[in-house]
Structure 1
Amino acid sequence: MSDIILETRQLTKEFKGFTAVSKVDLAVKRGSIHALIGPNGAGKTTCFNLLTKFLEPTSGTILF
């Protein structure tokens, strides 16, 4: 069994030609704690909405 419980590969989201999230690779291991930090407009909320499947990615994959 893998210790990775959430993984993204080249996750990208575009809105009408604007790239909000670009080629994000992420691997979260069981029991670890992570935070998304950055300035306003950096794509934190979009990233979270992609991970929770509220939004569909333009390209890339999300593995649970």
Structure 2
Amino acid sequence: MQKALLEVHNLTKIFPGIRALDDVHLSIRSGEVHALIGENGAG
């Protein structure tokens, strides 16, 4: 298994009145592609 290029642990993002991300854990390795897509399709 390759070492992660980027790791995120316990990420939370709150905008006024809404919690957009809650306790996110993410690990990205070389050659992988990831996306975050919102409820309305925005990402």
Fold equivalence (TM over 0.5): yes
The structure carrying a bigger helix percent of its residues is 1
CA distance in 1, matches of 2:41, 2:21: 10
Counterpart for residue 40 of structure 2: 40
Same amino acid, percent of matched pairs: 32
TM-score calculated relative to the size of structure 2: 0.63
Q: Which structure has the larger Rg over C-alpha atoms?
A: 2
Structure 1, gaps ≥5 residues long = 45-64
Root-mean-square deviation over aligned CA pairs = 2.4
TM-score calculated relative to the size of structure 1: 0.48
Report runs of 4+ in structure 1 exceeding 4 Å deviation: none
